[in-house]
Amino acid sequence: MAVLAVGTPVAYATLGNDAPSASRSATSVGAVRGKAYIETRLFFGTERPDGGPVVTDSQFSAFIDEEVTPRFPNGLTIQDGRGQWRDSHGAIERERRYELTLLYPASEARVRDVQIERIRNAYEKAYAQESVARIEERATADF
């Protein structure tokens, strides 16, 4: 599935065990910033494949309040956007979408994985969606 995403990253991501060069030089002088986090982005489409009405802002807000906030009460980021992807019938679908960004300690990854999958499944079921895209990156964050 290809997704066109526009937005500002929440944290600087580091993939694998390699730190960015600025972090390496900071480490060499003893100053280390941030802790290991996981940044998960979920992409929620608003068009219904069954031809039903689009998901409204108020419906999405209620979904966040009921399904996401209880699992991630420390915070989240939501961005509006436009995207496209190829559906299961091969058609290119263009739609308004919501991008949800969750940032949580890497030590919580196993527990959070289950919670995130429940969120994805709940949205797919509630709004007749074929899928909710999920992207994850390792990040270093300092608050």
Considering only CA atoms, give the Rg of the chain: 17
What pLDDT is attached to residue 10? 39
Please give the model's pTM, rounded to 2 decimal places: 0.75
pLDDT in tens, the chain (143 residues): 434 444 434 343 433 444 444 444 444 566 678 999 999 999 999 998 878 899 999 999 999 999 999 999 999 999 999 998 888 888 888 899 999 999 999 999 999 999 999 999 999 999 999 999 999 999 999 98
Which residue matches tokens 């990253």?
Answer: 9
Query: SS3 string of the chain?
Result: CCCCCCCCCCCEECCCCCCCHHHHHHHHCCCCCCEEEEEEEEEEECCCCCCCCCCCHHHHHHHHHHHHCCCCCCCCEEEEEEEEEECCCCCEEEEEEEEEEEEEEHHHHHHHHHHHHHHHHHHHHHCCCCCCEEEEEEEEECC
Instruction: Identify whether the C-beta of residue 129 lies closer than 8 Å to the C-beta of residue 48.
Output: yes
